[in-house]
Amino acid sequence: MSFNVQTMPATLDYPFEVEPQNGDGSAIEVAPGVLWFRMPLFASLPWINVWAIEEEGGWTIVDTGLKSANTIDAWQTAFAGALGGAPVLRVVVTHMHPDHCGMAGWIAERFKVGLWMSRLEYLTCRLMAADTGRRAPDEGVEFYRAAGWDDSAINRYKAKFGSFGEMIYPLPASYRRISDGDILQLGARE
């Protein structure tokens, strides 16, 4: 596939006239039974897109947002409003970044449903959460210094190390493994 900047339009063309508002629990239906939400983040990236897919008797949630009081408020509004009070039937997490998995444990616990995630992502998330509160290891500092990081970058690494678990609600002790090649049946969709 080739990429030619000269043939690209000057502006983006969005397929929807409106978009969900950040963090208020509102949703836009992007296809029949597929809802698009925006959950709040921080700094230069103000939101993450998350999804609800309708199934018989409830919803599958795909990605969940970062653990925060604002995200909890947004989900509670979404459960009562856009999701019509119907239960969540499962939670699917695409990968272990905290803005994708941060509320997965909370939603799974609230609705007593399973978490679906790949093994590598689940185990990596659990491992990183276990480092919460630890100081940056000397080996890590040495590695990044040898890679060319300046003192400012090293200090940021030290300050942020061990904070992953603060951004996620604890994951369930078990999960449903998603593997390469799996086809998930979400309602009438594969």
- Average pLDDT over the chain, rounded to an integer: 93
User: CA 20 → CA 2, 3, 37, 65, distances in Å?
Assistant: 33, 30, 6, 14
67 C-beta neighbours (distance < 10 Å), count: 21
Is the confidence at residue 8, as pLDDT, over 70?
A: no
Rg (CA), the chain: 19
Contacts of 146 (CB under 8 A, 6+ apart): none
Share of the chain above pLDDT 70, in %: 95
**What are residue 179's DSSP bridge partners?**
none
Q: In order of start, what are the domains of the chain with their CATH numbers?
A: 14-133+167-177 (3.60.15.10)
The model carries a pTM of 0.87
pLDDT tens, 88-106? Answer: 999 999 999 999 999 999 9
Tens of pLDDT, residues 44-78? 889 999 999 999 999 999 999 999 999 999 999 99
Query: So what's the pLDDT on residue 14?
Result: 77
Q: Which residues contact 22 (CB under 8 A, 6 or more apart)?
A: 38, 39, 40, 46, 47
User: Closest Cα to residue 163, out of 140, 139, 129?
Assistant: 129
Encode pLDDT of 104-137 as tens digits: 999 999 999 999 999 999 999 999 999 888 999 9
pLDDT on residue 5: 58
